[in-house]
Amino acid sequence: MIQPPEVSLRCLGCGAPFPLAGDLASPAACPSCRRLFPRTTGGALITLPGEMMSAVVREVRDFWETGAQWRISNDLQGLPKGGYEVDDAPRLAETLLRVRGVEISGFLLDLGLAGRKALEIGCGPGDYSIMMADAGAQVVALDICPTRANSAAVGLRTLGALKEVRGAGVQGSAEQLPFDDAQFDLVFSNGVLHHTPDTPRAFREAHRVLKPGGLFLFSLYHPCSREFLVETLLIQGILQLRLFRYGRNWLGHSTEWTDAPGRRADRSLLRRFLFPRPNHNPVTRVYTLRAVRKLCDGFHSLCRLTPRRLDWLPAYLATR
Ligand SMILES: C[S@@+](CC[C@H](N)C(=O)[O-])C[C@H]1O[C@@H](n2cnc3c(N)ncnc32)[C@H](O)[C@@H]1O
Ligand SMILES: [Zn+2]
Instruction: Identify which ligand lies nearest to the alpha carbon of 67.
Output: 1
| Confidence bin at 81 (pLDDT 50/70/90) | very low
Ligand 1 pocket test target in 53, 54, 120, 144 with most atoms within 8 Å of CB? 144
Distance 271 CA to ligand 1 centre (A): 26
Which amino acid is located at 188 in the chain? F
**Helices and strands: H and E segment counts in the chain:** 11, 13
Per-residue model confidence as pLDDT tens digits over 20-52: 986 777 888 999 999 999 999 889 999 999 999
| Confidence bin at 122 (pLDDT 50/70/90) | very high
Pocket flag, ligand 1, residue 173 (CB < 6 Å): yes
Cα atoms in the Cβ-side hemisphere of radius 13 Å centred on 238: 7
Pocket flag, ligand 1, residue 124 (CB < 6 Å): yes
Distance 311 CA to ligand 2 centre (A): 43
Which amino acid is located at 22 in the chain? G
| Domain 2-222+287-319 class in CATH | alpha beta
CA dist., res. 173 & res. 121, Å (int): 8
Let me know: does 258 contact 279? Beta carbons within 8 Å: yes
Q: What is the dihedral of CA 218, 141, 32, 6, to 10 degrees?
A: -90
**pLDDT greater than 90 at residue 93:** no
What's the pTM value of the predicted model, to 2 decimals? Answer: 0.89
- SS3 for 58? helix
Distance 123 CA to ligand 1 centre (A): 6
Ligand 1 pocket test target in 46, 72, 176, 195 with most atoms within 8 Å of CB? 195
Pocket flag, ligand 1, residue 283 (CB < 6 Å): no
Domain boundaries, the chain: 2-222+287-319, 226-274
> Averaged over 256-278, what is the pLDDT?
54
Q: Of 50 and 280, which is predicted with more confidence? A: 50
**pLDDT greater than 70 at residue 123:** yes
**pLDDT greater than 80 at residue 219:** yes
**pLDDT greater than 80 at residue 271:** no
Per-residue model confidence as pLDDT tens digits over 152-177: 898 898 888 888 999 999 999 999 99
Per-residue model confidence as pLDDT tens digits over 300-318: 999 999 888 888 899 999 9
**pLDDT greater than 50 at residue 260:** no
- Quote the DSSP letter at residue 156: H
